[in-house]
Amino acid sequence: MLLKARQGAYGQKTGRSKKWRAMLQLPLVSQCRELRQSIEKEYSSLCDKQPIGRLLFRQFCDTKCDLKSCIEFLDAVAKYEVAADEDRRDCGLLVLDTFFYEESWADPLPEIPPHIVQECRLRLTENPSKDVFEECARVVHNYLSGKPFEEYQESSYFSRFLQWKWLERQPVTKNTFRYYRVLGKGGFGEVCACQVRATGKMYACKKLEKKRIKRRKGEAMALNEKRILEKVHSRFVVSLAYTYETKDSLCLVLTIMNGGDLKFHIYNLGKPGFDEQRAVFYAAEVCCGLEDLQKERIVYRMGNFLSCGHLKSVLLMRELEPSQLRTDSSLPAAHLLAEVSSVELRPCAESECPCCACPRRAFSFHVATEALRGHAGLVTCSTESGLLHTALAVACVTGVSVGPSGLPMNPSIEFRITDLFLLFLPLQRLKAREHPPG
């Protein structure tokens, strides 16, 4: 049944209910008056993060030449950011020639000051990094969030967006879906495949049993998972589509991933580990997911990745306030991540760390690559060797300049291990060499 449902979702048979037109019928504009007054009018949320809002705002911008140029410029910057290293300089120069020369075919962008454009050209010549056009994109977004955003709210495109939001806010129950076999089980319940009756789209339904949550005192953890999934918008983290509850369970309907756990592929399919090309690809996806989480000040425990590189278990995430300490002794010490360990860690502010948004990223990537190579990871803290690893991990996180003499060294531990960890200190990382902290 599951295979037939998946084939229907992507084939000629859509898998929709016969009553799907009635289920997706949009309301009259007059029914959305109260919603128009109550909805939070924030440009970033309505016009960038939400897919329907993003599409409708772009359609509105296409009706005006100056706004259309802004959207085309943002698309060109997005294309530049994912360009290969060897092609990045040429791609960046093409962006400048297209949008900032008077004889170019595109309409000029007067809202971007000339000195910023000149700085971008200089950086492209010296070091074409990914964030060359970051300031230009910020200026364009600031411009679009002003008068253009106000005009958009008075247009028919925004009225259509409100109609979709009204439909989106209709109650979701267990009858909204068809349910298929169980895909996996966890500590609080199980995950099964499901299909939306109105659209035929497949999802994974994570059912958290209320009795188990109450017995294990996991109410705060379940609420934390829902809140973080609502906040995160990333192509490399599973997305939350629907939430509802039944008499026995709290249900989270998530993006379905058919490849299985990355851990299973590493250890159970042939020789442990991947070839270099495949490992690099997965590692890149994992890093993109972690970067998107860290932008929202969310820390994550390694070991819950899917075969497509997506992060799956939000129960192992924590959201941090700018000055908050993070202690998580409940997580296994064997994972000993720099973000999540049994010692108190204070997350740095971006202003304190100009070289990168989070000084723990390099150490996390090291642990991830070790896992991709088929290694079990770091040892636990129950031995003297484990204590050394803990001290070095804390040094990597906090940025304390710790020399070999300041560590609880044991003569039986080879110095090359210490050397390896010290390479992850802030002043030794490659990014820090480019932008040393002032």
Residue 323, classified by CB atoms within 10 Å of its CB into exposed (0-12), middle (13-18) or buried (19+), is: exposed
Report pTM: 0.64
Contact criterion met (CB below 8 Å) for 245 and 223: no
Name the percent of the chain lying above pLDDT 70: 63
**Type of residue numbered 416:** R
Average pLDDT over residues 117-139: 89
Cα-based angle 262, 279, 203 (whole degrees, multiple of 5): 35
Q: Which residues partner with 299 through β-bridges?
A: 318
Fold agreement between 1-16+171-255 and 39-169: no
Which among 412, 367, 421 is positioned nearest to 394, based on CA atoms? Answer: 421
Contact criterion met (CB below 8 Å) for 202 and 5: yes
State the chain's mean pLDDT as an integer.
73
Average pLDDT over residues 206-226: 90
| Most confident segment among 162-166, 358-362, 391-395, 409-413 | 162-166
Residue written as token pair 């997506």: 310
pLDDT at 309 over 70: no
Q: Which residues partner with 71 through β-bridges?
A: none
Which CATH class, in words, describes the domain spanning 39-169? Answer: mainly alpha
pLDDT at 379 over 50: no
Q: 238 or 252: whose pLDDT is higher?
A: 252
Residue 185 CA to chain centroid, in angstroms?
Answer: 24
- How many whole angstroms separate alpha carbon 48 and alpha carbon 316? 27
Residue 310, classified by CB atoms within 10 Å of its CB into exposed (0-12), middle (13-18) or buried (19+), is: buried
Residue 51, classified by CB atoms within 10 Å of its CB into exposed (0-12), middle (13-18) or buried (19+), is: exposed
**Type of residue numbered 54:** R
- Reported as a single tens digit per residue, the pLDDT across 9-44 is 544 556 677 777 777 889 999 999 999 999 988 999
- Reported as a single tens digit per residue, the pLDDT across 85-109 is 888 999 999 998 888 876 554 556 7
Quote the pLDDT of residue 209: 94
Q: Which residues partner with 10 through β-bridges?
A: none
Quote the pLDDT of residue 287: 83
- Reported as a single tens digit per residue, the pLDDT across 317-368 is 555 555 444 444 333 333 333 333 222 233 344 344 433 444 445 555 555 5
Which among 175, 171, 172, 158 is positioned nearest to 56, based on CA atoms? Answer: 158
Domain ranges of the chain: 1-16+171-255, 39-169, 260-324+354-400
Count of beta carbons in the 10 Å neighbourhood of residue 356: 19
**Type of residue numbered 151:** E
Cα-based angle 275, 279, 283 (whole degrees, multiple of 5): 175
CATH for the stretch 1-16+171-255 = 3.30.200.20
End-to-end CA gap in the chain: 61
β-pairing verdict for 249-254 and 202-209? antiparallel
β-pairing verdict for 189-196 and 177-185? antiparallel
Q: Which residues partner with 192 through β-bridges?
A: 182, 205
pLDDT at 294 over 50: yes
- How many whole angstroms separate alpha carbon 206 and alpha carbon 177? 13
- How many whole angstroms separate alpha carbon 362 and alpha carbon 399? 12
